Structure formats: structure tokens, C-alpha cells
Amino acid sequence: MTNLSGKSVLLIIGGGIAAYKSLELIRLLRGKGCAVNAIMTRAAEEFVTPLSVACLTGRKVHNALFNLTDEIEMGHIELSRSADLLVVAPATADLLAKMATGQADDLASTALLATDKAVVVAPAMNVRMWTHAATQRNVETLRRDAIQIVGPNEGEMACGEFGPGRMAEPIEIAAAIEAALTPAVLPLSGKKVLITAGPTREPIDPVRFISNHSSGKQGYALAEAAVAMGAETVLVSGPVNLPLPPGAQVMPVESAEQMLKACEGELPCDIAIFAAAVADWRVANAAAEKIKKDNGRIPALAMVENPDILKTIAQRKDKRPAIVVGFAAETERVAEHAREKLARKGCDMIIANDVSATTGVFGGDNNKVHVITPLGAEIWPEMSKRDVARKLMEKLAHELAIRQAKS
Ligand SMILES: Cc1cc2nc3c(=O)[nH]c(=O)nc-3n(C[C@H](O)[C@H](O)[C@H](O)COP(=O)(O)O)c2cc1C
């Protein structure tokens, strides 16, 4: 049994000399229990016959976009949809250009544009075509689009020249397909991460509130990083103007009390990161109706302390997350205040950042943090909030693995 067994691959054969090798690729894939549907470009049919491809795949070969019978039997979109992966072999310079620019003027390019599945391409062409700036630009674009490129290899070419341009061997392409279809074991797979982000809003009356400048960017970046590392990610978010991080379960809240309730409802979890800028106080008796102006009389707002979300969760007797991390926004003596906070709250780590006006941290895209644990402090250089998030999630995943191995 391999990872290819029971899978289905849509093979797109482009018009190059290496098309003959795609026949061997079909044999290899089918030998591993993988079904192969094939699309041949018009040019590909000059190099290998649809009859050979049909005999080896055991299926009808698709070649025309506007074919009534094909469309009724299996629509052009269905061809990509029913496959687990698309592979282009050989990928001509022309097909790479079409993919990079999103063209869809034949069945092959349309199927490639109409897919959200993994795509592996095996370029094959004359060395000058491969090294041409236009092809290299296209390949770069495809890499950025998460298309996996296998080869080309270096060697003697059919045109008599030597250099990179030979299509990767079928066995290498099959291995790349198998790797692409093998689910990666991500460091936080099976773990649950709870993150808070953004400011809270504490009502004064139905139209006014007390809040702060938190943009939520750091917390949202953390949620993005946790999802990318395979965690079940819950993001409890105060009001922010940010796109929702795909893959995270977002729970919108307004006040600190709502935020605490939402967090407690998400326990147990493995890691909890409190990046929200929670208001320390709220108005004791928020008015049920809008407070009216009253001949120059200023309303007196009695304040009460909000629940301390970080401390409450960190000091729970039951369902305490294995790792509790707090963020500390400080405007002076950042590290010193963070160390005090670590001890006072009973959490495992404090990420302290300097939010004084000159740093641009509030609302900005960069952050410079101190990472404080009971074992000591690290000062990370200034980097994007996304990079802070990735680096921090990696550190936490590592720490969690150690703790869970010990327990
Ligand atoms: C004999 C011959 C061999 C060719 N070999 C290649 C090749 O290896 N790679 C390539 O990118 N183009 C090659 N071409 C050019 C393509 O066939 C041509 O760009 C065609 O339009 C590609 O169509 P397709 O991308 O739809 O398959 C070759 C052309 C000829 C006549």
C-alpha cells in the first residue's frame, strides 16, 4: 500500500519531445493503484497518440474544450474536481506561461485554472527556453502560487544541447506526486490553541464606550500561524478591522466579561495566548439609555475593575491549559514590568512589547518583543507581527511537545 493507492490523478500532457515519458509515468502511477485521467494538448498529440494514452490509462483521453459528448459525460470542471491532484508532464514553456498568467483557452489550461487541488509540474524544454527570463519569471510566479515544480534535470537534450531542461524521470515525478498527496504531520496537529485579540469595548451607555488602540494584528497573525501549524484554533476577538484568518474559529466579543466567558467556554485547550488588550476597568453601571447633556453638568463615571482573563485562566485548578501565555503592553521598563506580571499572573510566558507612541507597535505591522519565562528572557529583534507569530508558535509547539512527553 502506498499513498497513491486509491487516489486519482489528472495528467496533462503538453506538446514536447518528453511526452513519451508520460506514458511511463502513467504505468508507474497505475502500478501503485492510482487512477489516471489524461488531457492531451493539441500539440501533445503530435508526439504521442491518444490511443497509447487511452490504452495505458484504461480511460478515454480528453483533448477538446468544446466537445459536447465529453461535456455531457464529464464536464471540464468535473475533470479537475474529481482528481486528488493535477500533474503536468511534460510542462511546455507555453503551458507554464498560460498557468502563470491564468489563461484558459484550451482544455488543459482551463482544467488547471479551474482547480483548487495540488498541482505538480514537470517542465521539459530546450535549455535556452528554460533559462529565458520569461520562463524563469513564470516559474517564480508558479512557485509563489504554491505549484510544485519537479525538475527539470540537467543533461543532454533531444535537440543536441546540454544543460537544464530535461524532464524529470517518471519515477521522480511519481515520488513528487506521492509526497504531495501525503498529509504532512504538522507540529500542532490534534492540539487546540485559544487566542484572544484586539481591544475590548466597555460601554458607558448604548452609544459610547471606553476602548484602546489595539489593532488585533498580532493576535490575528498568531491565529494564522496556529492554523498553519495544524492546530484547532479558536480566536476570541474584540472589535477590529481585519480579515478573518482562514481556518480559525472566530468568536466575536465586545467587553472583557464577554471575552472571559468565551474563553472559559473553550476550555480545555492545550495552549492559550492572551494577546487582546483588555480594558482594565469598566463603567460600574453603564446607562441603559443614552446619557443626555445636562446644562454643563459632567456625568460622574464610577469605574470597577474588569476580570483579569489571563490570571483567571492561568490560576484555574481544573482545565488549565498546558501553556498559558500573556502579552504585556508596556510603555516603560518593559522587561521589568513583564517579569513582575509573569509572577503575579501565574502564567508560563509573557510576551512584552513596548507600545509607547514612538515605537509604532499599536496598529503597526512590526513588533519588537521580549519573551519572558521563569527561566529567563530573550529579546527578539524587530520583525513583522507575522514573523513574531510564526516564531512564537514554533517555540510553543516545541515547549508543548516537551511538557507532554514528560507528563
Ligand atoms: C519537434 C518539437 C519539439 C518541441 N519540444 C518542446 C519541448 O520539449 N518543450 C516545449 O516547451 N516546447 C516544445 N515545442 C514547442 C511546443 O510544441 C509548442 O510551444 C506548442 O505550442 C506547445 O503547446 P502546448 O503547450 O499546448 O502543449 C516543440 C516543438 C516541436 C516542433
CA of residue 87 to ligand 1 center, whole Å: 17
pLDDT in the model for residue 332: 77
For the chain, which residues make up each domain, given as ranges? 8-180, 192-406
Residues 93-122 pLDDT 10s: 999 999 999 999 999 999 999 999 999 999
At 3, is the pLDDT very low, low, confident or very high (cuts 50, 70, 90)?
confident
pLDDT in the model for residue 361: 61
Residues 121-160 pLDDT 10s: 999 999 999 999 999 999 999 998 889 999 999 887 777 7
pLDDT in the model for residue 326: 97
| Topology at the third CATH level for domain 192-406 | Rossmann fold (3.40.50)
Are 8-180 and 192-406 equal in CATH topology? yes
Atom of ligand 1 nearest to the CA of 167: 8
The Cα–Cα gap between 202 and 211 comes to 6
Atom of ligand 1 nearest to the CA of 93: 11
Q: Which residue out of 17, 47, 106 has the highest number of ligand 1 atoms within 8 Å of its CB and is therefore the one to mutate? A: 17
For residue 329, pLDDT over 90 is answered with no
310-339 mean pLDDT:
91
Ligand 1 binding pocket (C-beta < 6 A) is: 14-18, 41, 43-44, 92-95, 124-125, 129
169-187 mean pLDDT:
90
At 236, is the pLDDT very low, low, confident or very high (cuts 50, 70, 90)?
very high
Strand partners, 11: 38, 87
From the candidates 34, 55, 159, 263, give the one annotated as an active-site residue. Answer: 159
CA of residue 55 to ligand 1 center, whole Å: 24
Q: Return the residue whose CA atom lies nearest to atom 9 of ligand 1.
A: 125
33-60 mean pLDDT:
96
H-only helix segments in 64-216: 68-73, 76-81, 93-101, 107-113, 127-131, 133-144, 170-181
Class of domain 8-180 (CATH, top level): alpha beta
Output 40 or 338, whichever has higher pLDDT: 40
The Cα–Cα gap between 355 and 5 comes to 54
Residue 301, burial from CB neighbour count under 10 angstroms (0-12, 13-18, 19+) = middle
For residue 385, pLDDT over 60 is answered with yes
Average pLDDT of the residues of the chain: 92
331-356 mean pLDDT:
87
Is 159 annotated in the active site?
yes
pLDDT in the model for residue 185: 80
Atom of ligand 1 nearest to the CA of 91: 11
Q: Return the residue whose CA atom lies nearest to atom 31 of ligand 1.
A: 16
Q: pTM above the 0.75 mark?
A: no
Element (H or E) spanning 13, and its range?
Answer: strand 8-13
